[in-house]
Amino acid sequence: MEEYQYVVLKKELFNDFIVRLAGIKKLIAPIAKGYNNFAYEEVRSGEQIALKYIPTILPAKKYFMPRNETLLEFSTGKKSNVEAFIEYESLTLFGLHTCDIAGIQCLNMALSERPKDYNYLARKNFITIIGLECNEYCDEFASCHLVNASFPSGGYDLLFTDAGEYFIVHINTESGEEIVNITEIFNKAESLHLNELTKIRENKRKVFSNEVPIERRHIPELFDRSFRSNVWKEIGERCLSCGNCTNVCPTCYCFDIRDELELDMKHGRRYRVWDSCQLEPFAKVAGGFNFRKERFVRQRHRYYRKFRYPVDKFSRFFCTGCGRCTRTCMANISLKETLNQLVKESEDRVWKRWL
């Protein structure tokens, strides 16, 4: 750790910092919505922000890839015209947990691939990310440690770590440094602050441990062995096919493209909306064939898109362990429980072979 990469913000100056930050550009942060629900919304002062919060209902992907986004506008007739759009807004996102930052890293990888998603990439360039490290688990649904998203690993401009009386702030990019310079509210970090940060991380290593009894490097093999598992049939029978789990997932990015014509039948727009692999028509193709017609096949697909396929393509899991899918599921389908069942079933198979 190099001292010059860190600054310190006293807690009593937090509100002043947020007011100054909101003066630079539109500021988004987690706020309490009641009944232990939280959402990312615009804030203007520090008092509005929930510094202790469980993952928001929707992840920060809603700012990188809005649920409903115009791609182009068109007019027909003699003066027909087509105009492509990239809608973006300059934003600062404050308070993202490491799991949500990991989610954005996944989207960055998937949407930078050819064909590149220029709408996403343009919007991303106008967003500044300020993370807030979790020193303990959000709740029992989180499995961030299993997928290596409990400790910071880049993807932010600044990262705040709560050290009691003050925040220790890691400056990771030039944009982050600019905020430190413009707001003029931080103090230089000294060795005692960095020692404190080391202690916090050591303590975290004791608190965070694998939430499922499997080492993360063995997860792809577990999925290689589990394609025909009964677990998929069991959760397929319970799944309601509502699509909530994919909508709230920070790494799901599937969308549908639609055209909409105004009543004058001359003007219209082409837009995209979030879609879900859990909905029955998602995999329907020309001729009416549906290659993921059964719910259990769609559920299995969701898990393989998180834990197996991206490992080959991007060398990482596309699950950040945020727990949103479990929190939102009306059928009580739990990601951790599913993984536990797969591990147990796999161990039972090994024993049976020995007996």
Q: Which of 241, 268, 283, 340 binds ligand SF4 (CB under 6 A)?
A: 241
Binding of ligand SF4 by 239 (CB under 6 A): yes
Site for ligand SF4 in 331-350 (CB under 6 A): 331, 333, 335
Query: What is the rounded CA–CA span in Å between residue 225 and residue 18?
Result: 50
d(CA 30, CA 322): 15
SS (H, E, C) 307-353: HCHHHHHHCCCCCCCCCHHHHHCCCCCCHHHHHHHHHHHHHHHHHHH
Using the rule CB under 6 A, which residue among 242, 283, 297, 311 binds ligand SF4?
242
Q: How many residues bind ligand SF4 (CB under 6 A)?
A: 26
**What is the nearest approach in angstroms of ligand SF4 to the Cβ of residue 235?**
7
Q: How far apart are alpha carbons 254 and 266 in whole angstroms?
A: 29
Site string for ligand SF4, 293-322 (x = CB under 6 A): -------------x------------xxxx
Residues in CB range of 240: below 8 A, 6 or more apart: 330, 331
> Given the DSSP bridges, would you call strands 255-261 and 37-42 parallel, antiparallel or unpaired?
unpaired
Q: CA dist 101 to 26, 89, 226, Å? A: 19, 19, 29
Output the DSSP codes for 141-177. T--TTTTT-SS--S--SEEEEE-SSEEEEEE-SHHHH
212 binds ligand SF4 (CB under 6 A): no
Q: Does 240 bind ligand SF4 (CB under 6 A)?
A: yes
Q: Which of 250, 301, 338, 346 binds ligand SF4 (CB under 6 A)?
A: 250
- Of the candidate residues 278, 334, 338, 341, the single one contacting ligand SF4 (CB under 6 A): 278
Shortest CB 297 distance to ligand SF4, Å: 13
Would you say 186 or 282 has its CB closer to ligand SF4? 282
Amino acid (one-letter) located at 3: E
> In terms of CB distance, is 256 or 259 closer to ligand SF4?
256
- Of the two residues 94 and 141, which places its CB atom closer to ligand SF4 in the complex? 141
CB of 354 to ligand SF4, least distance (A): 33
Stretch that binds ligand SF4, among 44-52, 172-180, 248-256, 344-352 (CB under 6 A): 248-256
Q: Which stretch binds ligand SF4 (CB under 6 A): 26-34, 77-85, 116-124, 243-251?
A: 243-251
CB of 174 to ligand SF4, least distance (A): 29
Q: Is 329 in the site for ligand SF4 (CB under 6 A)?
A: yes
Taking the C-alpha atoms of residue 60 and residue 106, their distance in angstroms, rounded to an integer, is 12
Q: Is 330 in the site for ligand SF4 (CB under 6 A)?
A: yes
Tokens of residue 94, six digits:
């404050």
State how beta strands 6-10 and 166-171 pair.
Answer: antiparallel
CB-based burial label for 314 (10 Å; 0-12, 13-18, 19+) = middle
Q: Given candidates 244, 334, 341, 346, which one binds ligand SF4 under the rule CB under 6 A?
A: 244
Using rule CB under 6 A, residue 251 touches ligand SF4: yes
Identify whether the C-beta of residue 342 lies closer than 8 Å to the C-beta of residue 226: yes
Residues near ligand SF4 (CB under 6 A)? 239-245, 248-251, 278, 306, 319-325, 328-331, 333, 335
